[in-house]
Structure 1
Amino acid sequence: MCGRFTLTSDIDEIVELFDIGRNEFEGYQRRYNIAPTNIVPAVLTVDGERVLRGFKWGLVPFWSKDGKSSYSMINARAESILKKPAFRNLIDRKRIVLPCSGYYEWRKEGSGKQPYLFQLNSEKTFGLAGLYDTWEGPDKNTVWSCTIITTSPNELAEKVHDRMPVILNENGIDLWLDTNNMDKDLLTSLLTSYPTEEMKLFPVSKAVNYVKNQGEDLIKEVVLNSK
């Protein structure tokens, strides 16, 4: 599962890192506790150009009757995206990459749960594989929404959780965002766990449990069993 993440790079860094040609995401700010239903920046390809656009995190399928998404729609399991009605038609042309600097997972320890932050060893922002859809309401306003694809964990991630988000390397990002690429076998082959040796994790403050909490202190390592 991936239920919280961070995005702490400057917007110029993100534009350069993901080779974005047009930025349509207004009011960008560094964020340390991104949660479901938040509007998140994601990269998609439009007419051959990479565009940064805002998406509601929690997929609303185009066929939804009321425009609401369930909490389970924040993630899509890689093993079943070609089968589930909400996802199976999206992999052809509705693929996105979500910039991410780190993601949180929780592990039961003692009488409670301890949050951990996963990052790349380089601490650089990376890209998560995602899918999106659009839903048009009675007022003709369009809701752009997304889900993050998860896969089986690598040896590091499994210490905390039995799932992890799909992290794409540079070549994977290029293939995933190529709208001319409709080879489902190739696309699904990208949806694997990221190399263990390129990642790290450490315990962080339980303040991250509350979605209203933000700030750089949330991503600092803490001593276990601290607040």
Structure 2
Amino acid sequence: MPGRLFLDLTGAELAAALGMDRAAVEDEPRRQNIAPGQQIIVQTAEGLGQMRWGIIPVGRVNARGRPVMETLINARSETVFDKSAYEGVGRAVVPVSGWYEWTGEKRRKTAWRIRSKDKGLLFFAAITDVWEAPGGITVPQVATVTCPPNQDVAPIHHRMGVVLQKEDVPTWLHGSKKDVVPLMVPWPNGLLKIEEARDVDWDAP
């Protein structure tokens, strides 16, 4: 499942590629190491914008009635519409060039870069929320939706992000629950390129 992301386009280039207004993202640089807790570019029904990657579900409880304390960066497709922690969330798409996964033991892990074989954009299905922070500050938040892996990803991870076909993005953003449930499936096999990521500065944004 996506733990780090990368985007090979600037915000202005991304907006141009999608044919969308760039005002909210035009100053964003290319980024090779996007981590949870950082601002990321998202597409919502209103257009392109930025949100914090990670939902803090303040005031929500789990199935046992206990408060949900952890920050949620990924939501399982199997339960995203059923868990009380996700009640009332919105939907968005996170456009990226790809993501990273790791295999191996601690201190000896191997980082893997995953992208489309044609080097095109990938569109992660996501959910959104707004955190009412102390001091009256509102923080828009986003979490990607995950599903079982396809055959490309299975050797390195047991989950992957739900990747949408570009033509299915409007359905994800505007459709009913019945409309979007069929979209939450693994990406077709053979369309991803996976290579060892040896050239990434993990301390840089």
TM, length-normalised to structure 1: 0.79
Aligned: 1:205 with 2:198: yes
CA contact 1:95–1:176 (8 Å) conserved in 2: yes
Aligned: 1:55 with 2:51: yes
Distance 1:53 1:185, change over 3 A: same
- In structure 2, runs of 5+ residues without a counterpart are 61-67
CA distance in 2, matches of 1:26, 1:15: 8
In the TM superposition, 1:176-191 aligns within 5 A as 176-178=172-174, 181-182=175-176, 184-191=177-184
Amino acid at match of 1:24: A
Which residue of the partner structure matches residue 116 of structure 2?
Answer: 120
3-state secondary structure, aligned to 2:120: coil
Distance 1:110 1:41, change over 3 A: closer
Which residue of the partner structure matches residue 10 of structure 1?
Answer: 10
Aligned pair count reads 199
Which residue of the partner structure matches residue 89 of structure 1?
Answer: 88
CA contact 1:115–1:206 (8 Å) conserved in 2: no
- In structure 1, runs of 5+ residues without a counterpart are 215-227
CA RMSD of aligned residues (A): 2.4
CA contact 1:99–1:126 (8 Å) conserved in 2: yes
CA contact 2:16–2:22 (8 Å) conserved in 1: no
Deviation at 1:27, TM superposition (A): 2.8
Runs of 4+ in structure 1 over 6 Å off:
none
In the TM superposition, 1:59-208 aligns within 5 A as 59-61=55-57, 63=59, 70-71=70-71, 73-90=72-89, 94-108=90-104, 112-178=108-174, 181-182=175-176, 184-205=177-198, 207-208=200-201
CA distance in 2, matches of 1:110, 1:146: 28
Deviation at 1:62, TM superposition (A): 5.8
Distance 1:121 1:44, change over 3 A: same
Deviation at 1:148, TM superposition (A): 0.6
Amino acid at match of 1:74: I
Deviation at 1:185, TM superposition (A): 2.1
Distance 1:207 1:11, change over 3 A: closer
CA contact 2:76–2:146 (8 Å) conserved in 1: yes
Identity of aligned residues (%): 28
TM, length-normalised to structure 2: 0.87
